[in-house]
Every structure is written in structure tokens, then in C-alpha cells.
Amino acid sequence: MALEPLAREGHFFHIYDFRIRDDIEPQAFIASFNRFDYSDDNPMHRSSAQVKDGVLVQHVGDSRRFWLIGEWRDIEEHARIRKVLAEAIRPEFVAMIEGGRFIPEYGRIVSATPADVLARAAGQ
């Protein structure tokens, strides 16, 4: 099986970088995030602009620090849906974040390993 690139050149990552409040247990935050993220209430999962679903990453040295990273074709569409989330849906996990700020940075994927290089690395 060939290796797979993390993302496709020309797409975008949304990257949320945040800490949860000191009075919140990390496992409680993760459970709250998962309840919303995997529910039918999450409009992100209904967008054709989403390429790869986001992943929630916990810092290994600071259990209260997290990143949420996902791949999108269109960051304007992501920002539009994020605004609906922030203003209308207001998931409970956002209140667990220090300062209640849940706004991503966006980055354009400008280099991704070509398929032939990945196939050679996988021995094919």
C-alpha cells in the first residue's frame, strides 16, 4: 500500500490553537467536543468544501492545550459555516476554552509529496 499525503497542494488547513480552562478536565472537554463534532448538528460535515475531516490533537506536554486541524478546498466556506456555529449553534465545548475564543488560522498547502515519491517510499 502506498503512503498517502497529509493534504493536497492548493487546499487549505484550518488550524485552531487553544487551551481549555483550568476548571475543565481534558477528558470532559474531549467528550463534549466529540458529542458535537460527530453529531448531526455539526454543519461542517455537510459541506462539500471539506476535504478531510478535522482531527483534534492534544499537546503531549500540556494536557490542556489542543489543536484542531482539517483540510478544506474553500476557506471562505469554512469561515461562513464557522460563523453560524459561533453565533447560532454555540456548541457547549467552546465555553470550555480559555477566553471562549475558537477562531482558526488558515494556511494554504503549498507543497505536498507527489504520489510517485510516496509510492517509492512504500516500496512500490
| Confidence (pLDDT) at 121 | 81
Assess if residue 107 is contained within a domain.
Answer: yes
Measured between alpha carbons, how far is 41 from 45 in angstroms, rounded to an integer?
A: 9
Assess if residue 117 is contained within a domain.
Answer: yes
| Confidence (pLDDT) at 113 | 85
Rounded to the nearest integer, the mean pLDDT of the chain is 93
Assess if residue 1 is contained within a domain.
Answer: no
Assess if residue 2 is contained within a domain.
Answer: no
- Structural domains counted in the chain: 1
Assess if residue 72 is contained within a domain.
Answer: yes
Question: What mean pLDDT do residues 29-41 have?
Answer: 96
For 10: left if phi > 0, alpha if psi spans -120 to 50, otherwise beta; the answer is: left
pLDDT band at 2 (very low <50, low <70, confident <90, very high): low
Assess if residue 19 is contained within a domain.
Answer: yes
User: For residue 102, which of 29, 50, 51, 49 has the smallest C-alpha distance?
Assistant: 29
- Per the structure, the complete domain to which residue 24 belongs is given by 12-121
Assess if residue 35 is contained within a domain.
Answer: yes
| Confidence (pLDDT) at 106 | 97
CATH of the domain at 16: 3.30.70.100
- The per-residue pLDDT for range 62-82, each reduced to its tens digit, is 999 999 999 999 999 999 999
